[in-house]
Chain A
Amino acid sequence: MERFRRELDSRPPPREGGDERVGEGERRVQRDWNEREDEKPDRVDFKVLPEIRSFDHRIHREEEGEAMYGFEALTFNIHGGYLEAIVRGYRSGLLTAADYNNLCQCETLDDIKMHLSATEYGPYLQNGALISHSSSRCGSDSVSRICADWRDSGRHVLVSYIPDQKPDSDLFLCRGIAYQPMEKGAKPSPLHTTTIVEKCTLKLLDEYKHMLCQATEPLSTFLEYITYGYMIDNVVLIVTGTLHERDVQELLEKCHPLGMFDSIATLAVAQNMRELYRLVLVDTPLASYFSECITSEDLDDMNIEIMRNTLYKAYLEDFYNFCQKLGGATAEIMSDLLAFEADRRAVNITINSIGTELTRDDRRKLYSSFGLLYPYGHEELAVCEDIDQVRGAMEKYPPYQSIFAKISYGESQMLDKAFYEEEVKRLCLAFEQQFHYAVFFAYMRLKEQEIRNLMWISECVAQNQKTRIHDSVVFIF
């Protein structure tokens, strides 16, 4: 019992505050970064067999006073139980095969909208403009004040009250979606496929923010890790746009909402890469990725795509290490998922760089240093010059052999869909276990896949290509 009380005391106290939760999370991350650098945690050796690895972890963590692997059921629910329940609830709201079949039968975009209104996407696809969506912690009186304000301004309010978990506060989590109803007689704006995708992404963003609000360490760091990929994309987009003298506001609108951070607009101010790094990036979590792999001279000349992929490689390795430190079921499942991601990227990089100027050394530098293919598979892939050689290299690994068996010789169009299907299978398997963080990662990825499916279906319907509609829809259940 002493061990558990010590563990409870060692957790940082919950933060009060409003919507600037995400910003605080960043600052928290900053502190944790420094803490970790002081401790110099030892990296786990990846090549060691999994059982021994987790045994090392068990001993390591027992010294720190944490629960042993296999006994997470005792302590996980204290801090993670609420959010795990929430995310499983979200997962059951994902579209099923029956839903997809209905959507594929639609003739027009309005039919699709009608079908989607019956699902969880209903409130987001209403005709009125979506005005505000906020998740904030506030006292009960301020909640009623907010609701009164909204109602007075003629907006519709959907509010859910969730009592906070912490025993020492009577704060409520108020989550509301307000949308302005259409004026009488106004014509509804024509529906575009981009609108549908936008609204669905908005829903994902809402759910993510809600979870991030409620999370504590280390789950909040984990959740933030999930979005670093989008952050990298946004940073690269703004940097390229600024290099070619585009307007900052336009660029900001084109960024992915999950990857936004506070100082993103200042990226446009920097004149060259050194300033960029010094002014903006050093405060973000992406700082370590830049310093690890790129010197400041490289930043100026380097091809944008190579930079993006180098950053992403550093991000994946960082994420992998973080999950290993978390240990337990999280480490196991996440390492499997991240290894698949790394291998998939390696194969894609190889195939897409055949016939371009990318040298073999550059190619090798872009491969991550973990995963099933590391290191021998990478050696083989680095020298491949066409698809059949890639296939030959990959067929030595049983999980990928089944993927490559699905596509016929000389063709690589269906490879992406095969990879997506395999990924979805693995993500669904993550939900089979309880008491780990990988369910959050799996849910985000599955939601992304769902949005991709919806985009595909709406585009096929809008372009009158119903025959191709089943080419790329990946059913989740």
Chain B
Amino acid sequence: MSGQSQRLNVVPTVTMLGVMKARLVGATRGHALLKKKSDALTVQFRQILKKIISTKESMGDVMRNSSFALTEAKYVAGDNIKHVVLESVKSASLRVRSRQDNVAGVKLPRFEHFTDHSAGDAKSDLTGLARGGQQVQSCRTAYVKAIEVLVELASLQTSFLTLDEAIKTTNRRVNALENVVKPRLENTITYIKGELDELEREDFFRLKKIQGYKKREIERREQDAKKYADNIPLKTGISMNSAHNLIFVGAEKDDDIIF
């Protein structure tokens, strides 16, 4: 990616540097947390996968047993037993409800079955009274077991899919933080630091230069002062010019002495 290591466009000030540093700290902490979350989700994922495989195998067996139980019931109670049972049912007595589980921050749906006793008929206990009643009851238990296994398998599979999504999202965020956000922030910080250093250096250089000027100025004045002192001999042949210059020009040139 071309823009991978670019930096943000900011004004390179000290405050900005502080802000960037805070953001970098936040990004690092977030990255660590998300990594932990991703690992936890992956562990759950593997567990669910193992359970799904074993449940599917047992489902194959259970469905086989229940179909065979139905065959036995049909053998003893007559072929019509399926229709007789179906026609005498008003509403289902075995129902499924769903609720949410929270696993490492991810909401997973879970299904569980329950028997609705108000809808269930006690009358259905007498099906096949004259022949085949026992087989019908054993067929019913076999199918109830089949439903249990199926409901469990359904919750496992939906959790599997949801977890898969969640893991993908989390990993995407982890990678983004690691490869995009943090480098960008680091680059920005480096840039700001660089700019600040440069400004400092400029300042320093300017200061040094001005100090140099000032020093030379002072030296020149000292030279001038020394030269004047040479030009005035005591009572002997000092020229009127130079005496005149001393008095009038000197009075003009003198700065005020300010303490």
Contacts and interface: CB of A to CB of B under 8 A. Distances in A.
B83 interface: yes
Interface string B118-130: 0000110111111
Given A237-B80, A357-B122, A463 B87 contact: no
Contact of B79 (A309, A357, A358, A455): A455
A237 B90 CA distance: 14
B133 A303 contact: no
A233 B90 contact: no
B75 A455 contact: yes
A306 interface: yes
Interface in A399-439: 412-413, 416
A349 B128 CA distance: 9
Contact of A472 (B72, B79, B87, B132): B72
Contacts of B89: 244
Nearest to A344: B131
Nearest to B138: A413
B90 A244 contact: yes
A226 to B, nearest CB: 15
A349 B132 CA distance: 10
B130 A309 contact: yes
Interface string B90-129: 1000000000000000000000000000000011011111
A455 B127 CA distance: 21
Interface string A333-366: 0000000000011001101110011100000001
A222 B258 CA distance: 150
A122 B83 CA distance: 28
A455 B80 CA distance: 13
B130 A349 contact: yes
Interface in A232-249: 233, 236-237, 240-241, 244, 246
A352 B128 contact: yes
B91 to A, nearest CB: 10
Interface of chain B, main secondary structure: helix
A463 B68 contact: yes
Contact of B129 (A254, A349, A460): A349
B126 A353 contact: yes
Contacts of A460: 71
Given A254-B80, A254-B83, A358 B126 contact: yes
A41 B129 CA distance: 33
- Size range of the interface on B? 20 to 34
Given A240-B88, A251-B87, A455 B74 contact: yes
Contacts of A464: 64
Contacts of A256: 80
Interface string A433-477: 000000000000000000010011001100111001000100000
Nearest to A306: B126
Q: Give chain A's interface secondary structure class.
A: helix
B129 A305 contact: yes
A352 B123 contact: no
A412 B134 contact: yes
A452 B130 CA distance: 17
Contacts of B128: 352
B67 interface: yes
A456 B71 contact: yes
A226 B126 CA distance: 25
A304 B74 contact: no
A351 B128 CA distance: 11
A312 interface: yes
Given A352-B134, A413-B134, A237 B75 contact: no
B25 interface: no
B84 interface: yes
Contacts of B71: 455-456, 459-460, 463
A197 interface: yes
B188 interface: no
A236 B71 CA distance: 22
A356 B135 contact: no
A345 B134 CA distance: 13
B76 interface: yes
Nearest to A355: B125
Contact of A353 (B87, B88, B129): B129
A465 B69 CA distance: 12
Contacts of B79: 197, 455
A309 B88 contact: no
B134 A351 contact: yes
Nearest to A453: B75
Given A348-B129, A353-B126, A463-B64, A304 B88 contact: yes
Contacts of B126: 303, 305-306, 352-353, 356, 358
12 contacts: A244-B90, A251-B87, A303-B126, A305-B127, A344-B131, A353-B129, A413-B134, A456-B71, A459-B71, A460-B71, A465-B68, A472-B72
Given A305-B129, A353-B126, 14 more contacts: A237-B83, A241-B87, A303-B126, A348-B133, A351-B134, A352-B128, A357-B122, A358-B126, A413-B135, A455-B79, A456-B75, A460-B71, A463-B64, A472-B72
Interface of A: 197, 233, 236-237, 240-241, 244, 246, 251, 254, 256, 303-306, 308-309, 312, 344-345, 348-349, 351-353, 356-358, 366, 412-413, 416, 452, 455-456, 459-460, 463-465, 468, 472
Interface of B: 64, 67-68, 71-72, 74-76, 78-80, 83-84, 87-90, 122-123, 125-135
A-B pairs, top 7 by smallest CB distance, nearest first, are: A352-B133, A305-B126, A254-B83, A241-B87, A459-B71, A356-B125, A416-B76
